[in-house]
């Protein structure tokens, strides 16, 4: 896909971007004082996205599923929209899975 490794690092730059985007959204969500029914789902799926990124070889279908669950859980919280968009962009860096 033309992505280059970071100098002095074996980490895929797409993984680096995903980890950073997920981290920013998790911080914003943690700082949000508003409670909403699906907050736990969002937190669980963000943790799953982070774990996939840490593994270094995330499964694209699972990334997309988690993204959809996070978006569904926090989509109505406008304060989180910019960070959610960053996560979506980071997931999109992985493109389609080879079997699609």
Q: Which of 75, 85, 2 is nearest to 37 (CA)?
A: 75
Residue whose pair of structure tokens reads 């998790």 in the numeric block: 26
Per-residue pLDDT of the chain (100 residues; tens, 9 = 90+): 444 444 456 788 999 999 999 999 999 999 999 888 899 999 999 999 999 999 888 899 999 999 999 999 998 899 999 999 999 999 999 986 554 4
For 78, the token pair is 């406008």
pTM: 0.83
Q: What is the pLDDT of residue 7?
A: 47
Cα distances from 99 to residues 13, 35, 61, 69, in angstroms, run 23, 39, 10, 22
Question: What's CA 31's distance to the chain center, in Å?
Answer: 18
Torsion (CA) 50, 56, 93, 25 in degrees, nearest 10? 20
Give φ, ψ of 93 to 5 degrees: -60, -25
| 3-state DSSP assignment of residue 4 | coil
Angle at 53 between CA 11 and CA 46, to 5 degrees: 150
């Amino acid at each position: 896909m033309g992505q280059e490794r970071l100098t002095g690092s074996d980490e895929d730059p797409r993984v680096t971007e995903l980890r950073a985007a997920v981290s920013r959204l998790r911080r914003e969500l943690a700082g949000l004082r508003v409670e909403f029914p699906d907050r736990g789902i969002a937190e669980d799926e963000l943790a799953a996205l982070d774990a996939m990124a840490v593994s270094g070889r995330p499964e694209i279908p699972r990334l997309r599923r988690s993204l959809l669950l996070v978006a569904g859980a926090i989509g109505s919280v406008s304060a989180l929209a910019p960070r959610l968009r960053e996560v979506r962009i980071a997931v999109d860096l992985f493109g389609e899975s080879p079997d699609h």
